Amino acid sequence: MMGHTHAMTGAIAWLGLAPGLAALPMVMESNRFIETGIMVNALSPAELIAGALICAGAAMLPDLDHPSATIAQTFGPVTWVLSKAVNWMSGGHRGATHSLAFAVAIGFGAHWLASSYPIGRDIMVVLLIGLALRAIGIGIPGNKAGSALVNIGLTAGLYAVFLSLGVGYAWLGLAVGIGSFVHVVGDCMTEKGCPVLWPMSVKFLLPWKIGIKTGKKFEQKILAPVLSVAIIGLLFLRLVPV
Ligand SMILES: [Zn+2]
């Protein structure tokens, strides 16, 4: 599946699930909760949007196992080296990172960072915002260094905006786990499938060869516009008061 398809399905998953998740105690506690003591709908609009972006970025994480993919160039050499390391650890493309175990582990890891290690949390947030922006095609075509600079600038700007709006990251682990899992489900819809139960090597894919062919007409001309409309619709539903 292409990067923007993964990123958009990640954002959709968050926008669809967030109001329900906001009722979870502790995991979703936000600044607003501390102020008002009201747990339901504890996510502020800024947190909803930050979460959508971070879930979209997390939906790119499994493909960091592919150093020659565009997202490996998000922050230039920094993400390329990270991608090389992920590729080595996961045993190549579509290995360990394309599994349920990875989604759970990275989700708990992010939750741990969010609750006890603020610098690590901020590094993860910045990485995920950058991956999401890169995945939806923000950059200068044919200019690697320029694209990395644009990404760094926009990511820093968004991070600062979220900070000024008092976005809390108690939900980081959930957003990261959900985003990574959405990626795995997405790749199971393709003709190549995924080792969902890694370290077991059995591949999960759609039967009768009906899986999506990555980057072909269906994904580009039909799926991408449908997903875009779904995101706009969900944003409208969640943020516009009726
Ligand atoms: Zn993948």
Map the chain to HEC letters.
Answer: CCHHHHHHHHHHHHHHHHHHHCCCCCCCCCHHHHHHCCCCCCCCHHHHHHHHHHHHHHCCHHHHHCCCCHHHHCCCHHHHHHHHHHHHHHCCCCCHHHCHHHHHHHHHHHHHHHHHCHHHHHHHHHHHHHHHHHHCCCCCCCCHHHHHHHHHHHHHHHHHHHHHCCCCCCCHHHHHHHHHHHHHHHHHCECCCECCCCCCCCCECCHHHCCECCCCHHHHHHHHHHHHHHHHHHHHHHHCCC
- Give 110 Cα–ligand 1 centroid separation in angstroms: 20
- Give 39 Cα–ligand 1 centroid separation in angstroms: 35
Mean pLDDT of the chain: 86
- Give 83 Cα–ligand 1 centroid separation in angstroms: 13
- Give 103 Cα–ligand 1 centroid separation in angstroms: 12
- Give 25 Cα–ligand 1 centroid separation in angstroms: 32
The residue-averaged pLDDT of 11-16 equals: 93
pLDDT band per the 50, 70, 90 thresholds, residue 108: very high
What is the pLDDT at residue 39?
Answer: 45
The residue-averaged pLDDT of 38-54 equals: 77
Residues listed for the chain: 242
- Give 42 Cα–ligand 1 centroid separation in angstroms: 32
Q: Which of 106-110, 118-122, 219-223 has the lowest mean pLDDT?
A: 219-223
Q: What is the rounded CA–CA span in Å between residue 68 and residue 73?
A: 8
- Give 113 Cα–ligand 1 centroid separation in angstroms: 24
Q: Where are the domains of the chain?
A: 3-184+214-239
| 8 A C-beta contact, residue 174 and residue 21 | yes
Q: What is the rounded CA–CA span in Å between residue 57 and residue 55?
A: 5
Neighbours of ion ligand 1 (CB under 5 A): 63, 187
The per-residue pLDDT for range 65-102, each reduced to its tens digit, is 999 888 888 888 999 999 999 999 888 888 899 999 99
- Give 164 Cα–ligand 1 centroid separation in angstroms: 34
Beta bridge partners of 59: none
Q: What is the rounded CA–CA span in Å between residue 188 and residue 104?
A: 17
Residue 210, pLDDT above cutoff 80: no
Residue 152, pLDDT above cutoff 70: yes
Q: What is the rounded CA–CA span in Å between residue 116 and residue 103?
A: 20
- Give 161 Cα–ligand 1 centroid separation in angstroms: 30
Residue 59, pLDDT above cutoff 80: yes
- Give 187 Cα–ligand 1 centroid separation in angstroms: 6
pLDDT band per the 50, 70, 90 thresholds, residue 36: low
Nearest CA-CA partner of 186 in 155, 154, 211? 211
Residue 197, pLDDT above cutoff 90: no
- Give 72 Cα–ligand 1 centroid separation in angstroms: 13
- Give 32 Cα–ligand 1 centroid separation in angstroms: 36
Residue 18, pLDDT above cutoff 60: yes
The residue-averaged pLDDT of 153-177 equals: 92
What is the pLDDT at residue 175?
Answer: 94
